[in-house]
Chain A
């Protein structure tokens, strides 16, 4: 019963490097989300997707890109890493619009930009 799987769990990047955070879910959920969580702050929505081929911006999309080529996968890409992107990143998924269905979360990716 894997649920939502995020890789890697930890990563250190240098300023200006790029990387992709991977997220996959095996629950056949159509909605997927990316959040970041900074110390002492609530989670902020970066991007979300309502189905394969459809993505939309959340509250804090600048500096990130996403794609959704399959139902299962929703990778998050950082093109030019900046210290302000040091954070814990969470991927989540839910069924239909999530209106009456809870979101399921992965364990997070802890990213440091030095």
Chain B
């Protein structure tokens, strides 16, 4: 069974700092990996989706990488802003239709 782990569980950084969030998974036979943002009391917003054949995806200040063989993905956030404060979740889709989520990293960006 796929296990998805996100470290750290919580992170607090000063505004303007670059930061990296980590996601690891135990079964490398994935179809894709997706990073989400979740604000308190809200649903999930998709940030980036990386196909299993890709190494990275970029959107604005966000860059996600994927190393399928080692079971790792990172989400890099450049020049962090207070508005980036949220919980960040990663999810992997196995070659079936099952999705497995990590427990998330709660990010606080201090002005």
Give A residues with C-beta under 8 Å from B.
4, 31, 33, 35, 40-45, 48, 50, 56, 58-59, 90, 92, 97-108
Contacts and interface: CB of A to CB of B under 8 A. Distances in A.
Contacts, number: 62
A101 B46 CA distance: 10
| Residue of B36, B41, B99, B100 ringed by the most chain A CB atoms within 10 A | B99
A50 B97 contact: yes
10 contacts: A43-B91, A45-B98, A56-B97, A90-B44, A99-B32, A102-B49, A103-B34, A107-B43, A108-B41, A108-B42
A42 B104 contact: yes
Interface string B96-111: 0111111110000000
B51 interface: yes
B51 to A, nearest CB: 6
| Residue of B34, B46, B89 ringed by the most chain A CB atoms within 10 A | B46
Interface string B44-55: 111001010000
Nearest to B42: A107
Interface string B38-79: 000111111001010000000000000000000000000000
A102 B101 CA distance: 14
Mostly, the B contact residues are strand
Contacts of B43: 4, 90, 105-108
Interface of B: 4, 31-32, 34, 36, 41-46, 49, 51, 89, 91, 93, 97-104
Given A42-B103, A43-B91, A90-B44, 14 more contacts: A40-B103, A42-B4, A42-B89, A42-B100, A56-B97, A58-B98, A97-B97, A100-B51, A102-B46, A102-B49, A103-B99, A105-B44, A108-B41, A108-B42
A102 B45 CA distance: 9
